[in-house]
């Protein structure tokens, strides 16, 4: 089992920044993917960013150049640095963990609201 604990969400003005954190604990496989999805009203869950064990990353086109995903040296925490935030970024952000051929695990979600 894997547990994910998220933090860092909140209210920010357009153009501002937030950093989300997600710490994984439990049975962590050596090779895994961690990342972030978000969900907004009236839309399905949307991919935001992911990072694999080696550090290779992928981003949704909508956040590329503004968001940066990273992992710490222990490879049990993932961060999402969000800069130049837009109202369209408002969503519940969910941390995600997946090992090869394994189950998906999700954090509880953290609300990010970008509004003036």
Query: pLDDT of 28-66, one tens digit each?
Result: 888 899 999 999 988 999 999 999 988 899 999 999 999
Q: End-to-end distance of the chain based on CA atoms, in angstroms?
A: 40
Q: What is the DSSP letter of 79?
A: E
- Partners of 103 in beta bridges: none
Are the C-beta atoms of 35 and 96 separated by less than 8 Å? yes
Q: What is the mean pLDDT of the chain?
A: 94
């Amino acid at each position: 089992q894997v547990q994910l604990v998220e933090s860092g969400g909140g209210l920010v003005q357009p153009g501002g920044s937030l950093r989300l954190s997600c710490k994984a604990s439990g049975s962590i496989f050596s090779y895994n993917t961690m990342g972030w999805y978000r969900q907004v009203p009236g839309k399905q869950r949307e991919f935001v960013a992911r990072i694999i064990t080696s550090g290779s990353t992928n981003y949704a086109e909508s956040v590329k150049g503004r968001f940066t995903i990273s992992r710490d040296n222990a490879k049990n925490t993932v961060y999402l640095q969000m800069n130049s935030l837009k109202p369209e970024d408002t969503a519940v952000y969910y941390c995600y963990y997946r090992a090869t051929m394994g189950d998906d695990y999700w954090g509880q979600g953290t609300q990010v609201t970008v509004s003036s």
